[in-house]
Amino acid sequence: MNKRKYIIDTDTASDDAVALVMALRSDLDILAITCTAGNLSLAKTTRNARLSCKFADTYVPPIYAGSDRPLVKTLVVGENVHGSDGLGDMFYPEPDIKLQEGHAVDAILEIARTQDDVGLITLGPLTNVAMAILLDPLAMRKITHIIAMGGQYRMTNGCTANAEFNIWVDGEAAKIVLESGIPITMVPLDVCYGEAEITADDRNTLRSLKTARGDFFVDCNRHLLAYNQRSYAKDIISMPDPTAMAVAIDPSIVTSYVDVYTQIELRSSLSYGQLIYDFYNRHKKIPNVRLVTKIDAQKFKQLVFKTAE
Ligand code: BDR
Ligand code: CA
């Protein structure tokens, strides 16, 4: 059977890193890793993407640097969440993996133009993808679908009350992607918390494997753990990007979804970046988003543990 082909676009911080390792140790064929600024500056996200490939220890797809800022807004990074290096302030040594020449947006377009049946997994702000759509919308319509970690529909979170970080960092880019006509599966924060949270028991399971990857998954997320303890009094590592990656690797992890026409608020200073879901189909529009509303959290965790072996 042919492997399913994907490009991964990422602002590689600690949960992106786990997701990249999962992808590179799965049955997916990762054609390229394209980096954007988001959680961190572009220099740091590209470094962390290279480091993640090192920890995956399988193959190294071409890794490209892309946008160093959102389309319109000023970049706001998330070092308070993931650490100044984005990997729990572990300050891992420089990996002997090189960045590819050329821009991430050109790389996405080149793959879209020359290959069939390619999907896109996005783990960060949508700047690179929006740029590619603006440059060559027809080529991008060949992308079969986008699986995006982004948004929320019920829960509030620490970014703003109404907007999730990846969408909020570059709302203008998210709007372009939402209106592109490319089928989007959105993995919102709601399904990445609750049963999917990595608890103290889960961290013990990862440590008990006594593997470099098991330790990496826990260590590089130690800043995120401290952030969750401090900010929400929760002893957990949240793993939004690995949850989205798990949906790509094993679509049966999704146990419930709703197809819904989705817009984004960009004008209000209070709710910039909020996704507005037309659950009652008042606009009589064709749904542009498959919103994941429930996952099999145990299956997700088993996949994380198996990857760490
Ligand atoms: C998203 O924001 C980042 O902190 C994570 O990497 C994830 O992509 C969750 O809101
Ligand atoms: Ca991310």
Q: Residue 33: what pLDDT?
A: 99
Helix (H) or strand (E) holding 229: helix 222-232
Grade residue 298 by pLDDT with cuts at 50, 70 and 90: very high
Averaged pLDDT score across all residues of the chain: 97
CA of 2 to the centre of ligand 2 (A): 28
CA of 190 to the centre of ligand 1 (A): 13
Q: Which two tokens stand for residue 89?
A: 């302030």
Closest residue to atom 4 of ligand 1, CA basis: 39
CA of 48 to the centre of ligand 2 (A): 11
d(CA 190, CA 34): 26
What average pLDDT does range 109-115 have in this prediction? 98
270 domain residue, yes or no:
yes
Q: Residue 267: what pLDDT?
A: 96
Closest listed ligand to the CA of 166: 1
- Distant-in-sequence, close-in-space partners of 69: CB < 8 Å, separation ≥ 6: 37, 75, 127
Mapped onto helix, strand or coil, the DSSP state of residue 185 is strand
Q: Residue 77: what pLDDT?
A: 94
158 pLDDT higher than 80: no
d(CA 55, CA 15): 14
Q: Which residue of 12, 121, 123, 127 sits with most ligand 1 atoms within 8 Å of its CB, as the best mutation to test the pocket?
A: 123
Place of tokens 């889960």: 202
Rg of the Cα atoms in the chain: 18
With pLDDT > 70 as the criterion, what percentage of the chain qualifies? Answer: 100
88 pLDDT higher than 90: yes
CA of 281 to the centre of ligand 2 (A): 30
d(CA 169, CA 38): 7
Describe the crossing of helices 104-114 and 127-135 by its angle, rounded to 10 degrees: 60
What average pLDDT does range 195-220 have in this prediction? 98
CA of 165 to the centre of ligand 1 (A): 6
Q: Which residue of 39, 162, 189 sits with most ligand 1 atoms within 8 Å of its CB, as the best mutation to test the pocket?
A: 39
The ligand 1 atom nearest the CA atom of 149: 8
pLDDT digits (tens, 9 = 90+) for 32-73: 999 999 999 999 999 999 999 999 999 999 999 999 999 999
Place of tokens 């949270």: 197
What average pLDDT does range 261-276 have in this prediction? 96
Q: Residue 156: what pLDDT?
A: 80
Grade residue 303 by pLDDT with cuts at 50, 70 and 90: very high
Looking up residue 166, the CATH number of its domain turns out to be 3.90.245.10
Beta strands 289-295; 254-260: pairing state: antiparallel
The ligand 1 atom nearest the CA atom of 192: 9
Closest alpha carbon to 173 in 234, 120, 131: 131
Describe the crossing of helices 42-56 and 212-219 by its angle, rounded to 10 degrees: 150
215 domain residue, yes or no:
no
What average pLDDT does range 25-33 have in this prediction? 98
204 domain residue, yes or no:
no
116 domain residue, yes or no:
yes
Total domains in the chain come to: 1
Q: Residue 285: what pLDDT?
A: 95
Grade residue 142 by pLDDT with cuts at 50, 70 and 90: very high
Closest alpha carbon to 275 in 193, 192, 182, 157: 157
298 domain residue, yes or no:
no
Closest residue to atom 2 of ligand 1, CA basis: 165
Grade residue 211 by pLDDT with cuts at 50, 70 and 90: very high
CA of 37 to the centre of ligand 2 (A): 10
**Considering the entire predicted model, what is its pTM?**
0.98
Burial letters for 142-179: b for 16+ Cβ neighbours within 10 Å, e otherwise? Answer: bbebbbbbbbbbeeebebeebbbbbbbbbbbbbbbbbe
pLDDT digits (tens, 9 = 90+) for 14-24: 999 999 999 99
* 173: containing domain: 5-193+240-293
CA of 2 to the centre of ligand 1 (A): 31
Mapped onto helix, strand or coil, the DSSP state of residue 46 is helix
55 domain residue, yes or no:
yes
The ligand 1 atom nearest the CA atom of 165: 10
Q: Residue 98: what pLDDT?
A: 96
d(CA 244, CA 263): 20
Residues with CB under 6 A from ligand 1: 13, 15-16, 39, 78, 81, 123-124, 149, 164-166, 189, 240-241
The ligand 1 atom nearest the CA atom of 14: 6
39 domain residue, yes or no:
yes
Place of tokens 């793993």: 239
59 domain residue, yes or no:
yes
157 pLDDT higher than 80: no
